[in-house]
């Protein structure tokens, strides 16, 4: 018999590794690698999610008649070697993995890889699209995806007459009653408890509370719940942040998508149907489809296109350690405390918290990019190399010098005050740029512009912000002094 090797983020029978596989001709291998399960710093819920989902997928395959070799081993390679010694397969085949290290491991160990169909745009097709372009703009890629895949298109034109409704999707938090429903939780069973009991006792993060689907059935339930009750409200408040409402109208589907429990086409198909039947407005349907076929696949393509050298980029010469508050240390910054509490409790923060709270603070303070990538990859239930490397290096920290984003996503406390309810319960003042009560985001924003004045002045999209330094020239000595205090304190706590 041949063997289909299924990695922990490939948990779907529709994937190309299973092409032509039948129970009478193929055995399936899944390896639980101790060096990954016991990886220091990995959030408890991330490990629980992957391990439990692998167990449930193995059960589904066995119920479908496959012989499944689900084994524990010190490493993936060791698990493969043990499998070969026991079963002597004629051929071991696996779908291309989602990371470069995993691909190298498969090739080193003589595994035949087949072209991945986990994404709607294979990275080779992305490279062909990118060839010869001066700038790889996400909007250009997104429109290309819309045209070739046909989502939200009326003939050759976009549904509703516009490609992008992002301008309608930036409302501040709603006052009063929230229009979106609460989400259901999936009860933990004996398998969940067995997996949790085997995890390292010192793994960071709280235990799971049933938020993250660990089977395809649960993932489909979460998709139905989102499309029917939440997607109508998704668009307007995509960028809002609320201290007492961690999920707002976000889909919560990224962990299931990243593990293969859901397919990108089926979630976009569901959103399209909801729009076409009048249940979801165009700005919500378009905003969601843009995240799936646009940004998600754009990030995937860039990860493969730019290679390993990209991971080491640090164009702004950032040299600060990770803020202690990101790992749960006490902080007076209410927005950071709320986002960090969500990571501790659920291994999750939505995209604006990631970019404009964690990423923005790290950018302004000058946190080392590699350290930020490592923390985000380990701390989030949907963390993966392909997700975090471009999002952190390019989008959040501008460490690539502008290869991905045309300007740094730098903002002072005023942005957080406008888009969240954090500032009203915070002891810092987002309007103050000097003194001990000045918001660290505001202080560090002006210090960031000042430190990188020469570089940023050459960026057409940053010229006006840099010119504003002249307007506050009298405050710059105090800003620099306070910013230095904040930067010294961040890695050890105390802010």
Rounded distance between C-alpha atoms, residue 406 and residue 409, angstroms? 9
Residue ranges of the chain assigned to CATH 3.40.50.620: 2-114
Q: What is the mean pLDDT of residues 337-344?
A: 97
Q: How confident is the model at residue 166, as a pLDDT?
A: 85
Q: Could you write out the three-class secondary structure of 301-347?
A: HHHHHHCHHHHHCCCCCCCECCCHHHHCCCCCCHHHHHHHHHHHHHC
Q: How confident is the model at residue 69, as a pLDDT?
A: 98
Does pLDDT of 150 surpass 80?
yes
Rounded distance between C-alpha atoms, residue 393 and residue 410, angstroms? 14
pLDDT band of 34, cuts 50, 70, 90: very high
pLDDT band of 429, cuts 50, 70, 90: very high
Rounded distance between C-alpha atoms, residue 341 and residue 425, angstroms? 15
Q: What is the mean pLDDT of residues 369-397?
A: 97
Average pLDDT of the residues of the chain: 96
Does pLDDT of 276 surpass 90?
yes
Instruction: Look up the CATH superfamily of 314-492.
Output: DNA Cyclobutane Dipyrimidine Photolyase, subunit A, domain 3 (1.10.579.10)
Rounded distance between C-alpha atoms, residue 300 and residue 265, angstroms? 16
Contacts of 485 (CB under 8 A, 6+ apart): none
Does pLDDT of 86 surpass 80?
yes
Does pLDDT of 26 surpass 80?
yes
Does pLDDT of 17 surpass 80?
yes
pLDDT band of 173, cuts 50, 70, 90: confident
Does pLDDT of 154 surpass 80?
yes
Does pLDDT of 192 surpass 80?
yes
Q: How confident is the model at residue 1, as a pLDDT?
A: 95
Residue ranges of the chain assigned to CATH 1.25.40.80: 123-189+212-306
Q: Could you write out the three-class secondary structure of 205-261?
A: CCCCCCCCCCCHHHHHHHHHHHHHHHHHHCCCCCCCEECCECCCCCCCCHHHHHHCC
Percent of the chain with pLDDT over 90: 94
pLDDT band of 170, cuts 50, 70, 90: confident
Q: How confident is the model at residue 179, as a pLDDT?
A: 87
Residues 21 and 123 sit within 8 Å (Cβ to Cβ): no
Structure tokens at 438: 């000045």
Instruction: Look up the CATH superfamily of 2-114.
Output: HUPs (3.40.50.620)
Residue ranges of the chain assigned to CATH 1.10.579.10: 314-492
Where is 73: in which H helix or E strand?
Answer: strand 67-73
- The CA angle 322-37-14, to the nearest 5 degrees, is 110
Rounded distance between C-alpha atoms, residue 331 and residue 361, angstroms? 13
Write the DSSP symbol of residue 114. Answer: E
Global pTM reads 0.96
Q: How confident is the model at residue 447, as a pLDDT?
A: 98
Does pLDDT of 194 surpass 90?
yes
Topology (CATH) of 123-189+212-306 = 1.25.40
Does pLDDT of 168 surpass 80?
no
Q: How confident is the model at residue 145, as a pLDDT?
A: 98
Percent of the chain with pLDDT over 70: 100
Q: What is the mean pLDDT of residues 73-97?
A: 98
Taking only Cα atoms into account, the Rg of the chain, rounded to an integer number of angstroms, comes to 23
User: Strand 157-158 to strand 112-114: parallel, antiparallel, or no bridges (unpaired)?
Assistant: unpaired
Q: How confident is the model at residue 262, as a pLDDT?
A: 98
Question: What single string gives the DSSP state of each residue in 390-422?
Answer: IIIIIIIS-TTSSSS-SS-----HHHHHHHBSS
pLDDT band of 235, cuts 50, 70, 90: confident
């Amino acid at each position: 018999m041949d063997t289909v090797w299924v990695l922990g983020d490939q948990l779907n029978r529709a994937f190309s590794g299973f092409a032509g596989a039948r129970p009478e001709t193929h055995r399936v291998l899944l390896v639980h690698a101790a060096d990954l399960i016991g990886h220091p710093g990995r959030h408890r819920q991330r490990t629980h999610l992957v391990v439990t989902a692998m167990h449930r997928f193995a059960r589904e395959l066995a119920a479908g008649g496959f012989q499944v070799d689900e084994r524990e081993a010190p490493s993936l390679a060791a698990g493969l070697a043990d499998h070969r010694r026991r079963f002597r397969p004629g051929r071991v085949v696996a779908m291309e993995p989602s990371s470069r290290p995993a691909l190298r491991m498969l090739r080193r160990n003589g595994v035949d890889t087949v072209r991945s169909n986990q994404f709607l745009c294979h990275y080779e097709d992305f490279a062909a699209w990118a060839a010869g372009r001066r700038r790889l703009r996400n909007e250009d890629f997104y429109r290309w995806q819309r045209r070739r895949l046909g989502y939200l298109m009326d003939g050759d034109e976009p549904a509703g007459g516009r490609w992008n409704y992002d301008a309608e999707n930036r409302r501040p938090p709603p006052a009063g009653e929230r229009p979106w429903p609460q989400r259901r939780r999936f009860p933990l069973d004996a398998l969940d408890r067995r997996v949790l009991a085997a995890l390292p006792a010192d793994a960071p993060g709280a235990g799971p509370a049933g938020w993250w689907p660990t089977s395809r059935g649960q993932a489909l339930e979460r998709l139905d719940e989102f499309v029917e009750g939440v997607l109508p409200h998704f668009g307007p408040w995509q960028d809002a942040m609320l201290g007492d409402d961690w999920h707002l109208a976000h889909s919560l589907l990224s962990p299931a998508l990243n593990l293969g429990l859901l397919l990108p086409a089926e979630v976009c198909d569901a959103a399209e149907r909801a729009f076409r039947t009048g249940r979801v407005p165009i700005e919500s349907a378009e905003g969601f489809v843009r995240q799936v076929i646009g940004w998600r696949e754009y990030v995937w393509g860039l990860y493969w296109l730019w290679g390993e050298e990209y991971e080491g980029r640090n164009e702004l010469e950032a040299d600060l350690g990770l803020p202690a508050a990101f790992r749960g240390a006490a902080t007076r910054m209410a927005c950071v405390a709320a986002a960090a509490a969500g990571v501790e409790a659920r291994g999750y923060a939505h995209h604006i918290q990631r970019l404009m709270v964690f990423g923005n603070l790290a950018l302004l303070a000058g946190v080392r990019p590699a350290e930020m990538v490592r923390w985000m990859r380990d701390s989030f239930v949907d963390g993966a190399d392909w997700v975090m490397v471009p999002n952190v290096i390019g989008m959040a920290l501008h460490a690539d010098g502008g290869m991905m984003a045309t300007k740094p996503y730098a903002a002072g406390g005023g942005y957080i005050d406008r888009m969240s309810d954090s500032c009203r319960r915070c002891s810092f003042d987002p309007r103050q740029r000097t003194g001990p009560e000045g918001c660290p985001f505001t202080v560090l924003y002006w210090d960031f512009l000042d430190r990188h004045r020469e570089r940023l002045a050459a960026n057409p999209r940053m010229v006006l912000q840099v010119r504003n330094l002249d307007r506050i020239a009298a405050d710059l000595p105090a800003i620099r002094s306070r910013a230095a205090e904040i930067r010294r304190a961040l890695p050890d706590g105390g802010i």
